[in-house]
Amino acid sequence: MSLPIEIAPGPALDADGDRVPTLPEKLAAIAADLREEYRQPHNTPWIIGFSGGKDSTLLAQLVFEMLLNLPPSQRRRPVHLVANDTLVESPVLARHLDAVLDRIGGAVGPLRLPVIVAKTVPEENETFWVNLIGRGYPSPSRVFRWCTDRMKIRPTTRYIQAQVSAAGEAILLLGVRRSESSQRRKSVERYDNGQRLNPHNSLQGCQVYKPIVELDTDEVWQVLLQSSPPWGGSHRELVTLYRNAGGAECPLVTDKSEAPSCGSASSRFGCWTCTVVEKDKSAEAFVEAGYGDLEPLLDFRDWLKALREEGGMRMANRRNGALTFVGDGRLIPGPFTLEARQLILTRLLGIQEDLDYPLIREGEIEAIKRIWAEDNLPQGGATS
């Protein structure tokens, strides 16, 4: 009787028949590329766009490991690790991000790393609540997605521009990956000049560097699950976050062309107020996982989405006084009425008091009341 012959599997091949590098080979190439770029004979700062999600966490870890493998005397170029807080982040994500930033900030000194940890926020006049409750902007939709630019792009842009102004230029490191989605693949290919660094689409003096662009999702998780972050702790909390959310994080956005990735149809966790999506599957998954304190926020978000469809809650004229009609002569309503804005604030403050969790800041309430005064809204019913 003949014995079965076991044939060892050959190397993985791509569509062109070329050998696909193994994960260790990919990681070694990324580490070498990071090291080579960092040791260039200039002092241009690096800026890591950090959302606290899996991709930006892996990117930060690889940069830290590269720096730790250099002698301290060669760690001469500053590295800014920059997160963005829209001030309406999901409380679960906000707590996770703050904890990670605190851990990283506490580790860079003892590790002798030239890392500056920063978090950008929208200016008080541009926050979600000042625009929605103060000016009456309808809750964001795919047609009128006013939030991403004001709450994400502008704050991070200001930070990057400050570094460009100080150093002459800056290099923005992003944890984007070609296989993340078809939209991401198109974006990568559109702005890829075949070089390691690509000019940013809209920020003068800023180059974009995408070290992990060729990794796939399984490889990202494999590295995170098999390693510990250089700043201490573990990735256990991150894994649990994704498992409970049943989705992915909304990424750090620095360009209006990337705005659709914020509030996409997929299950992503980001702003708890996001009404761009039809249903907040991520928040629903968190509630089912035991985060009962998110349920009032989910109900409020659904109410905000429904409120913008109520004709009696919207003004006919836009804030500039104009009337807007579509082709068939149908009027497109303008901002929320002054009464609707007051109703939203009253309900929001009630939820904030019940949860004992900050949802709106005192400075925002003051800015809202200033706008109301300009719009001649009686303020007797809204209290802080």
Q: What number of other Cβ atoms are within 10 A of residue 24's Cβ? A: 8
Run means of pLDDT, 10 residues per run, the chain, 384 residues: 48 70 96 98 97 96 98 97 96 94 98 98 97 95 91 96 97 91 54 82 95 96 96 93 75 62 57 91 87 92 94 78 67 87 97 94 97 74 42
Q: 23-286: CATH homologous superfamily?
A: HUPs (3.40.50.620)
pLDDT given at position 125: 94
pTM of the model: 0.86
C-alpha triplet 223, 284, 265: angle, nearest 5°: 70
The residue extents of the domains of the chain are 23-286
- Rounded CA separation 380/342 (Å): 10
Q: What number of other Cβ atoms are within 10 A of residue 164's Cβ? A: 20
Task: Tell me which amino acid residue 117 is.
Answer: V
pLDDT given at position 195: 86
- Rounded CA separation 2/5 (Å): 9
pLDDT given at position 263: 53
pLDDT given at position 15: 62
Among 66, 26, 41, 24, which residue's Cα sits nearest to residue 173? 66
Q: 363 is written with which tokens?
A: 């400075």
pLDDT digits (tens, 9 = 90+) for 99-129: 999 999 999 999 999 999 999 999 999 999 9
Q: What number of other Cβ atoms are within 10 A of residue 223's Cβ? A: 20
pLDDT given at position 383: 41
- Rounded CA separation 241/259 (Å): 23
pLDDT given at position 257: 62
pLDDT given at position 253: 65
Q: Give CA separation, 313 vs 140, 274, 336, 339, 355, in Å.
A: 15, 19, 6, 8, 27
**Cβ–Cβ under 8 Å, residues 269 and 240:** no
Task: Tell me which amino acid residue 160 is.
Answer: I
Alpha-carbon torsion, ordered 234, 239, 240, 246, to 10 deg: 170
Pairing of the two strands 79-84 and 170-173? unpaired
Among 201, 206, 88, 80, which residue's Cα sits nearest to residue 151? 88
pLDDT digits (tens, 9 = 90+) for 169-220: 999 999 999 877 555 555 555 556 678 999 999 999 999 999 999 999 999 9
Q: What number of other Cβ atoms are within 10 A of residue 240's Cβ? A: 13
pLDDT given at position 35: 98
Among 47, 157, 139, which residue's Cα sits nearest to residue 88? 139
pLDDT given at position 378: 55
Q: Give CA separation, 259 vs 54, 85, 277, in Å.
A: 19, 16, 13
